[in-house]
């Protein structure tokens, strides 16, 4: 049996779909479906049942399922980078993940959990996923701090070599539609272009970058899922790893890729960046993926142009947009 927290969410639902393709259907999907349209992500999936987060908390206390849990993918979290309730983030993102790590180790269960590239803050200490750098990192938001606390705790308590933590960079792709303001710029940009024929990007407030030329490591969700499957299959490989392409691309590159995929001439305008985020805005992120390559992950990552083309033409422009 495989348990996936956040299984109805963006990455989680895509992971379940990929596991189904391997013939895995004995899956417990852990999530609160709420009032949004996250439930639509589940319609094509094959799993045993859905349980709410509170039920799962009880499960890890006494394992009432009475059968062997082979693996837990812990993807559930409050992922809002603008969340101000620090206590809630610590409780849900930090302390619960710690409990799950200990539960998994004590019961000899494979655990793969989602960390985040937001732990790197402004990137001044590089985007190196080595254990030595982690304690020195200074995240820019509370979400990143809640994730960094878990990574640091796992290293300090010598647990990091018994589990897998994955620092996802800018993931985009199908099944992110319920995320509202947390949707990728790929989805938001498509919506703008599709409705207005143009896209708005932030102006630069950093003299080292022209408007639209600040860069991110954009990774297609299918690649992110493939990395998770690699660690699922290779259960002797543990540690903290970046999940990005290792190649930063600009917002302008992303916008042009969307226009090309739709088949219209690019029209990009630049708008003022809100003052609230100017001071802490990240102008560059790029995953260092040497560690991932060293443990045996050899596949090439989808280029930004090919990923956007697949996302736009095979999902966003279709009546059925779901993976």
Q: Is the pLDDT of residue 64 over 70?
A: no
The span from the CA of 257 to the CA of 290, in Å, is: 27
- Quickly list DSSP for 11-67: HHHHHHHHHHHTT---EEEE---TTSSGGGGGTT---SEEE-HHHHHHHHHH-TT-S
Mean of pLDDT values over 107-119: 96
Q: Is the pLDDT of residue 307 over 80?
A: yes
Is 264 contained in some domain? no
Q: Is 270 a catalytic residue?
A: no
Catalytic residue among 44, 46, 162, 179: 179
pLDDT digits (tens, 9 = 90+) for 191-227: 999 999 999 999 999 999 999 999 999 999 999 999 9
Q: Is 143 a catalytic residue?
A: yes
pLDDT of residue 59: 78
Interacting residues of 150 by C-beta distance below 8 A, sequence separation 6+: 93, 94, 97, 98, 101, 113, 115, 165
Is 86 contained in some domain? yes
The domain total for the chain is 1
What pTM does this model have?
0.94
Mean of pLDDT values over 119-129: 94
Q: Is the pLDDT of residue 66 over 60?
A: no
Mean of pLDDT values over 276-297: 92
Q: Find the CATH number of the domain harbouring 76.
A: 3.40.50.720
Is 70 contained in some domain? yes
Is 163 contained in some domain? yes
Q: Is the pLDDT of residue 280 over 90?
A: no
pLDDT digits (tens, 9 = 90+) for 244-256: 999 999 999 999 9
Say what percent of the chain tops pLDDT 70. Answer: 97
Q: Residue 57's domain spans which residues?
A: 2-172+218-245+286-301
Catalytic residue among 120, 127, 143, 220: 143
Is 256 contained in some domain? no
Is 323 contained in some domain? no
Of these ranges, 62-71, 87-96, 146-155, the one predicted with the greatest mean pLDDT is 146-155
Is 73 contained in some domain? yes
Is 265 contained in some domain? no
- Please enumerate, as own/partner, the contacts of 296-305 that have beta carbons within 8 Å and a separation of 24 or more: 296/230, 296/234, 296/237, 297/227, 297/230, 299/223, 299/226, 301/219, 301/220, 301/223, 301/245, 301/246, 301/247, 302/220, 302/222, 302/223, 302/245, 304/218, 304/249, 304/253, 304/254, 304/257, 305/257, 305/260
Check if the beta carbon of residue 150 is closer than 8 Å to that of residue 93: yes
């Amino acid at each position: 049996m495989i348990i996936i927290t956040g299984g109805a969410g963006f990455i989680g639902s895509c992971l379940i779909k990929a596991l189904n393709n391997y013939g895995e259907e004995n899956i417990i999907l852990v999530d609160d479906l709420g009032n949004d349209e996250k439930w639509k992500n589940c319609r094509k999936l094959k799993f045993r049942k859905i349980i709410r987060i509170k039920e799962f908390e009880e499960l890890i206390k006494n394992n009432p399922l009475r059968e062997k849990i082979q693996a837990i993918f812990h993807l559930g979290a409050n992922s809002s980078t603008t969340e101000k309730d620090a206590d809630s983030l610590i409780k849900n993102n930090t302390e619960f993940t710690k409990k799950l790590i200990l539960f998994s180790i004590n019961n000899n269960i494979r655990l793969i959990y989602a960390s985040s590239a937001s732990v790197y803050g402004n990137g001044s200490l590089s985007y190196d996923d080595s254990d030595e750098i982690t304690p020195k990192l200074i995240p820019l938001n509370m979400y990143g701090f809640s994730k960094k606390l878990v990574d640091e705790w796992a290293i300090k308590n010598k647990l990091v070599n018994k589990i897998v933590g994955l620092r996802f960079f800018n993931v985009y792709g199908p099944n992110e539609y319920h995320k509202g303001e947390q949707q990728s710029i790929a989805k938001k940009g498509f919506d703008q272009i599709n409705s207005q024929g143009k896209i708005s990007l932030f102006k630069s407030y950093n003299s080292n970058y022209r408007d639209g030329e600040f860069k991110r490591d954009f990774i297609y969700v299918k690649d992110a899922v493939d990395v998770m499957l690699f660690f699922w299959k290779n259960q002797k490989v543990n540690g903290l790893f970046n999940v990005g392409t290792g190649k930063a691309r600009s917002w302008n590159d992303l916008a042009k890729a969307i226009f090309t995929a739709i088949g219209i001439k690019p029209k990009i305008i630049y708008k003022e960046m809100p003052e609230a985020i100017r001071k802490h805005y990240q102008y560059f992120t790029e995953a260092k993926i040497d560690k991932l390559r060293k443990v045996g992950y050899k596949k090439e990552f989808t280029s930004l142009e090919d990923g956007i083309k697949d996302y736009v033409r095979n999902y966003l422009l279709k009546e059925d947009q779901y993976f």
